[in-house]
Amino acid sequence: MTATTRAPGPADTAAVRRAITSTARPTPPGRLATAVVFGWRGMLKIKHVPEQLLDVTVTPVMFVLMFTYLFGGAIAGSTGAYLDFILPGMLVMSVLFTTVYSGVSLNTDLTKGVVDRFRSLPIWRPAPLLGSLLGDSVRYVLAGTVIIVLGLALGFRPDGGVLGVLGALAVVVVFSFGLSWVFSVLGLLLRSPNAVMNAGFMAIFPLTFLSNVFVDPATLPGPLEAFVQVNPITVLATASRSLMQGEPDGVAITVSLGVAALLTAVFLPLTTRLYRSR
């Protein structure tokens, strides 16, 4: 036996409409609130896949240990002296390497169709982009914290104290936030996450090693020294060292923050435009 369902009549339809219209319409979320929600999404991804933190924890530790104890004696005469020189630079290197994964994550969302779902939502269009990079900034802080804690465990004692260390970390994170927009453009232009990763590291590796992160530029050949001196990563490493040593270099800090602002001003609109057109 089957029962016949009665079609809703005019009275039922009117009752439903009264129930809907009698409830106050919720206030739509603002731009900042929407971006924070997408940033929290990035934190939840770390919670469910903690293996992705290996790049910001294990890899920086390996770099510090290998360079300090393999090359410290040959370059600076002792591992302790070289640790004082290299640790601020390794802070820069480890955090900048992490920015590549901003483009990889964006490309993964794009190729899996997640971006199409975001576009169907009644939200501020750049919110997924901005929120994703805000979430990645937490990864930058974590990567920098790992390096600093490891350096303290190995005997590094910054003359700038806690404020100098926090200042160096803040400048590096701000610079990395600006650089992450560059890799976001790569994430929107290239076809696969592996392509984004390969292209990103091909760009960041030479710039990082051709800097003053590992050696004093004065020991390099003339043309190479000239390139190293104008490398933005060299300026950022100089700013980080000066803050940790308690002698802030105002020019290096200002240039680093200016480069971060310039990268954001150029690549943020470009990323937003590509995001809308893809």
Give mean pLDDT, residues 137-161.
89
- Read off the pLDDT band of 8 (50, 70, 90): low
Residue 3 has pLDDT above 60, yes or no: no
Rounded distance between C-alpha atoms, residue 86 and residue 239, angstroms? 13
Give mean pLDDT, residues 109-134.
81
Rounded distance between C-alpha atoms, residue 245 and residue 231, angstroms? 21
Check residue 7 and give its pLDDT.
58
Check residue 26 and give its pLDDT.
67
Residue 11 has pLDDT above 70, yes or no: no
Q: Across all residues in the chain, what is the average pLDDT?
A: 85
User: Using one digit for the tens of pLDDT, what is the confidence trace for 39-87?
Assistant: 888 777 777 777 666 766 787 888 888 888 888 888 888 888 899 999 9
Residue 13 has pLDDT above 90, yes or no: no
Q: Count CB-CB contacts under 10 A for residue 213.
A: 26
Check residue 167 and give its pLDDT.
94
- Read off the pLDDT band of 102 (50, 70, 90): confident
